[in-house]
Amino acid sequence: MGDIDAVLFDMDGTLVGSDAAVELAWRQWAADHDLPPEPVLAAAYGRPISATIRHLAPWLDDDAVRLEVDRQNDREVADADGTKPLPGAYELLAELDRLGTPWAVVTSAGRRLAEARLQATGITPQILVTADDVRVGKPDPEGYLLAATHLGVSPRRCLVVEDSLPGIEAGRRAGAQVAALRGHPGDLAITDLHELLPVIHVR
């Protein structure tokens, strides 16, 4: 891996453990619409709520989609207090701060949900880019490009840390190097954030 000027993290499944809350909310949504939960869960992971609902329920008009998004956000925010940091998160973020390496969180969650989950874990990013800040969510690279701009660095000198295929694609399309969790392919495959401590290079 080349030198890194900044690190851009996904949130859910990367910095914080929210799988249980996400799965519960989407199982409830599937039940509401008489849909089998497995394809709903598969479609929901790593993408904005609005994109997931439009994909799964194309018959809904814009007003109905907005109502569904609000309902899903309410469900997930209600469970946010139980959010925990994932292994290595605190150690890695502390080391980045010690080195003076800028970092950001780029998430497919809306701002209200993202702030609730991050507050529950005590993680305060220097820059937070949410689904509310972009026109197009992952796998589009807009969020990562926006974060790099806010940090004043080239996206090509950023390390994106992701745990979903849409997020990995977004990082690659932004021109960044990608560290991938959950066995996904990336420039670097990792099992948890501890493994990034020895491989982060600061220019």
Residue 183's region, left for phi above 0, alpha for psi from -120 to 50, else beta, is left
State the maximum Cα–Cα separation within the chain, in Å, rounded to a whole number: 53
HSE-CB for 51 with a 13 A CA cutoff: 20
Instruction: Indicate which residue of 5, 10, 79, 163 is catalytic.
Output: 10
Using alpha carbons, select from 75, 148, 60 the residue that is nearest to residue 109.
75
Where would I find the beta strands (DSSP E) of 19-109? 84-85, 103-106
Alpha carbons 178 and 187: distance in angstroms, whole number: 5
Verify whether residue 12 is a known catalytic residue: yes
Instruction: Report the alpha-carbon distance of residue 138 to residue 171 in Å, rounded.
Output: 9
For residue 32, indicate whether it is catalytic.
no
Please tell me which residue in 3, 5, 12, 74 is annotated as part of the active site.
Answer: 12
Tell me the C-alpha distance between 73 and 198, whole Å: 37
78 and 117 in contact (C-beta within 8 Å)?
A: no
Give the residue numbers annotated as catalytic, written as ranges.
Answer: 10, 12
